[in-house]
Amino acid sequence: MSHKSPKDFFAPLAVGAPAPLREIPARPSRAIHFFDPSNPKMAAKVPAMVGTVDVLLGNLEDAVKADNKVAAREGLVKIASETDFGPTQLWTRINSLDSPWVLDDLITLVTEIGDKLDVVMVPKVQGPEDIHYVDRLLAQLEAKGGVQRPILIHAILETARGVANVEEIASASPRMQGISLGPADLAADRKMKTTRVGGGHPGYLVRQDPVDGDIHGQRTVFQQDLWHYTIAKMVDACAAAGIYPYYGPFGDITDVVAAEDQFRNAFLLGCVGTWSLHPKQIEIANRVFSPSVEDIKHARRVVAAMGDGTGAVMLDGKMEDDASLKQCLVLVDLAEELAAIDPKLKELYDAIEVD
């Protein structure tokens, strides 16, 4: 098998295309908010959402009716052309690579609104070959459209083969920005016996041992997380490649409590954000994927106590050392990135007093 040399990895894949980035910028992306650009009611809400959400994503794939595919593509071109997105990123999810729509999706979007598009989300990615295909095509279209900076690629992990190849997918191109979990298609592809879009299942559980041998007596049941393995594998693949992992959709829009739990599990495991399918999920995602005041207060105390960052100290009866400091710095750095774009958070974090 032949591998690219580092110098080739960072060369444009088409004459006239912008040079690939050497590092993926850490732009806040707590919520990737999905809208259907062919739905007039949803589309009308998009301009007013600028600044309230980190990423607006014009969805062209599943959840857009086959009859509306062209209208969705054209609707996205119109919204992108007419809207000033300010600090908010604009992403799209293109149709799958084996569909009749994807070629025109890419040709139209990159040549007409390429300078406004930050990231192209590619569904049902099976392996690095899918990323290589989009990588070259994007370069050709960037050159054709005179796009000034490279459009990044985000893969959805929603097939068993994709999960098996996740490390190769994460490092397939310098355009790779991140990966999201696609729990609904992944469940179907793996033949899991679930019927939901993300979230748990009451049947997937661990039961407390019988008390006094009474198997029919009162025994506590702990529901388990169906997605733990996949999210952890995805987080490792992304961190190793220097790109960003995300949870994905939580389809039970009314159950805001369980959505928050699922999002927080992903945040604690290393994800930087999640998807929002309905306006009411944005606030949950923004809150969960921003470090809490308590976390930042503690992290700053550890930073202050650790001086030059080496050695071990006792703080509130607990040992702190180089490694716990590094964890605290993850939170402090994230808080700084978020405060730079979110004035309310800045106020909150600035008001923290470290005793």
Angle between helices 279-288 and 40-49 (to 10 degrees): 40
Residue 182 as a binder of Mg ion (CB under 5 A): the answer is yes
In angstroms, what CA-CA distances link 66 with 22, 38, 62, 99, 111?
38, 11, 9, 11, 23
- Residue 249 or 291: the one with the smaller Cβ distance to ligand CQM is 249
| CB 42 to ligand CQM: min, Å | 4
Q: Does 118 show up as a binding residue in the annotation?
A: no
136 appears as a binding residue in the annotation:
no
Q: What type of residue is 61?
A: E
| Phi, psi of 58, deg, nearest 5 | -80, 110
158 marked as binding residue: yes
Taking the complex as a whole, the smallest distance from the CB of residue 96 to Mg ion amounts, in Å, to 9
Asked if 162 is part of the footprint of Mg ion (rule: CB under 5 A), the reply reads: no
Does position 278 interact with ligand CQM (CB under 6 A)? The reply is yes
Q: 216: exposed, middle or buried (C-beta count within 10 Å: 0-12, 13-18, 19+)? A: exposed
Helix/strand/coil for 57: strand
Q: By CB under 6 A, is residue 196 in contact with ligand CQM?
A: no
From the list 89, 99, 29, 32, the residue with the least C-alpha distance to 61 is 99
* Identified binder of Mg ion from the candidate list 185, 199, 298, 342, rule CB under 5 A: 185
Q: What are residue 152's DSSP bridge partners?
A: 119
Give the binding range for ligand CQM (CB under 6 A) out of 59-67, 78-86, 201-209, 299-307: 59-67
Q: What is the CA radius of gyration of the chain?
A: 22
Q: How many positions of this chain bind ligand CQM (CB under 6 A)?
A: 22
The answer to whether residues 235 and 266 touch, using CB atoms and an 8 Å cutoff, is no
The answer to whether 284 contacts ligand CQM (rule: CB under 6 A) is: no
Interaction partner, residue 267 (ligand CQM, Mg ion, none; CB < 5-8 Å by kind) = none
Q: Amino acid letter at 350?
A: D
Taking CB under 6 A as the rule, does residue 335 contact ligand CQM?
no
Q: Which of 177, 187, 292, 164 lies closest to 244, judged by CA?
A: 177
Residues in touch with ligand CQM (CB under 6 A): 34-36, 41-42, 45, 59, 62-63, 156, 158, 182-185, 197, 248-249, 253, 277-279
Which residues contribute to the annotated binding site for substrate? 93, 158
Which residues contribute to the annotated binding site for Mg(2+)? 158, 185
